[in-house]
Amino acid sequence: MNKLSLYLYNLFILLLQGAIQLAAFFNPKAKLWVAGRKNWLSKMTRIVQPKKGKCVWIHCASLGEFEQGRPLIEALKKQYPSLVIVLTFYSPSGYEVRKKYSYANYVFYLPLDTKKNAQLFIELIQPDIAIFVKYEFWYHYIKELKQRAIPAIGVSVILKKNYPYFKWYGGIFRQMLQKMHHLFVQNNASKQLLESINITHQSIASDTRFDRVLANSKQVKNIPIVQQFKGNNLLMVVGSSWPNDDKIIGAFINQSPKNMQFIIAPHELKNKQIAQIQASINYPSVRYSDLSENKLITEKKLANYKVLIIDNIGMLSSIYAYADYAYIGGGFGSGIHNILEASIFGIPIFFGPKHQQFQEALDLIELGSAFCIKETSTLIMQFNALYYHKAAYQKAAAISKKYTLNNTGGTAIIMAYLQNYLNE
């Protein structure tokens, strides 16, 4: 790697910092990003206790990557109760939600990737192993780990041909991968891409989220209101929807069969979005909070509603257990939300076009259990192909569950590797 590449990388980091600091004046998320890193060293120094045993540092970009790292964190804590876990996030959307995560001893924002920050941070926490989830790699941190002979492990890694690692200008990015101790990739395509740039310290271990959703499916909560709401009807659960999803779903509901019920769980619990959802639907709808707070509502009255809106957090993964179909939101924005929470229960899945970064979405589409939706007419067409053809529905549902179950076990593979360092 030449000096120019490193200079440009460092310049990019500084420009990134400046851009976020400027955005902080009018963007709440950017404001949290800046505030979370202000005086980071003094804040962490006051909290971090002198090292007495083994320490594992796990870094996630945001909440989605955390869900991939979570099965591994909990497996580590279960097998090594005294292990110190340091969890870091790049994004406020991860840190602000999981800053009190009980399985981690410390939860921090990762300081900006500069040579000095990397030296100070790693010296402070003194990890025995560092784990980077999916594709969140930072040059100075990885270089510092390498110089200190601390293994840097990538887990649930997924790579695409258009990533910088495989471009003519990607020398510094390839250096990051070369300095990693081992990379656990999700699929054979990623493995072949790494081999094309002569990186052989890698192996396949499925996305650890499969293990997470399997564990969750065995601990499903009984929700009487949902059971009563569904009754003898078919149920479509709309999970983590955004306004663009809501427009499609609202129009679909207005044309749906009489024996279909709908549960909608918006991604953000804003009254404005919920009100817009209710206004777009020509059928009676009700919020879950209204039902749970009104003890006088009977099963007969509940049957009057076609749409139930979940206005709380924490129920969605259990609600999928009641579903016959699932629509997963986010596919008209930065990317779809977790489809595995639904697929584990063996149901066909619909989502928008922004799903290319999610291997499970691509796989399930190819297998015929998931369907890309671009507008309401597409959703109607794909839904009717299942609704009016029982054999097609049963085939899609069976594929969904089989695929999810067949891809569990990644956590065990990674744990077996980590034991070589943690059992010493």
Residue 164, pLDDT > 60, answer: yes
In sequence order, the β-bridge partners of residue 106 are: 86
**Phi, psi torsion values for 317, nearest 5 degrees:** -60, -30
DSSP state of 207: -
Residue 112, pLDDT > 60, answer: yes
Mean pLDDT within 146-171: 94
pLDDT value, residue 303: 78
**Among residues 213, 204, 260, 270, which one has the least CA distance to residue 237?**
260
Q: Which residue has the tokens 């910088």?
A: 164
Q: Which residues of 47-60 are buried (b: 16+ CB within 10 A; e: fewer)?
A: ebeeeeebbbbbbb
The structural domains of the chain, ordered by start, are 52-206+409-422 (3.40.50.11720), 217-406 (3.40.50.2000)
The answer, as to whether pTM is greater than 0.85, is yes
Q: How far is CA 383 from CA 178, 283, 364, 371, 396, in A?
A: 46, 19, 16, 9, 12
pLDDT band at 1 (very low <50, low <70, confident <90, very high): low
Residue 409, pLDDT > 90, answer: yes
Residue 298, pLDDT > 60, answer: no
Residue 300, pLDDT > 70, answer: no
| DSSP SS3 for 90 | coil
How many CB atoms are located within 10 Å of the residue 2 CB? 9
Q: What confidence tens digit (pLDDT) does each residue in 369-380 have?
A: 999 999 999 999
d(CA 153, CA 221): 35
Mean pLDDT within 145-160: 96
Q: What confidence tens digit (pLDDT) does each residue in 39-98 have?
A: 999 999 999 999 889 999 999 999 889 999 999 999 999 999 999 999 999 999 899 999
Q: What confidence tens digit (pLDDT) does each residue in 121-131 have?
A: 999 999 999 99
| DSSP SS3 for 289 | helix
Two structure tokens written together for 128: 């025995």
Residue 339, pLDDT > 90, answer: yes
d(CA 288, CA 229): 10
pLDDT value, residue 302: 82
| DSSP SS3 for 277 | helix
d(CA 280, CA 293): 25
pLDDT band at 419 (very low <50, low <70, confident <90, very high): very high
Residue 196, pLDDT > 60, answer: yes
Residue 156, pLDDT > 60, answer: yes
pLDDT value, residue 301: 77
Q: Which residue has the tokens 């110190």?
A: 84
d(CA 22, CA 15): 10
d(CA 252, CA 379): 7
pLDDT value, residue 304: 86
pLDDT value, residue 406: 96
Mean pLDDT over the full length of the chain: 94
> Edge-to-edge strand order for the sheet containing 325-328?
285-287, 307-309, 260-266, 234-241, 325-328, 349-351, 370-372
Question: Going by DSSP bridges, is the β-strand pair 260-266/285-287 parallel, antiparallel, or unpaired?
Answer: unpaired
pLDDT band at 4 (very low <50, low <70, confident <90, very high): confident
Residue 118, pLDDT > 80, answer: yes
| DSSP SS3 for 214 | helix
Mean pLDDT within 174-185: 96
In sequence order, the β-bridge partners of residue 266 are: 241
pLDDT value, residue 294: 61
**Phi, psi torsion values for 221, nearest 5 degrees:** -85, 140
pLDDT value, residue 135: 85
The CA angle 324-329-331, to the nearest 5 degrees, is 125
- Neighbouring C-alpha atoms within 13 Å toward the C-beta of 148: 21
In sequence order, the β-bridge partners of residue 237 are: 263, 326
Amino acid type, 416:
A
Two structure tokens written together for 61: 């970009």
Mean pLDDT within 282-311: 81
Residue 295, pLDDT > 80, answer: no
Residue 296, pLDDT > 90, answer: no
Residue 321, pLDDT > 70, answer: yes
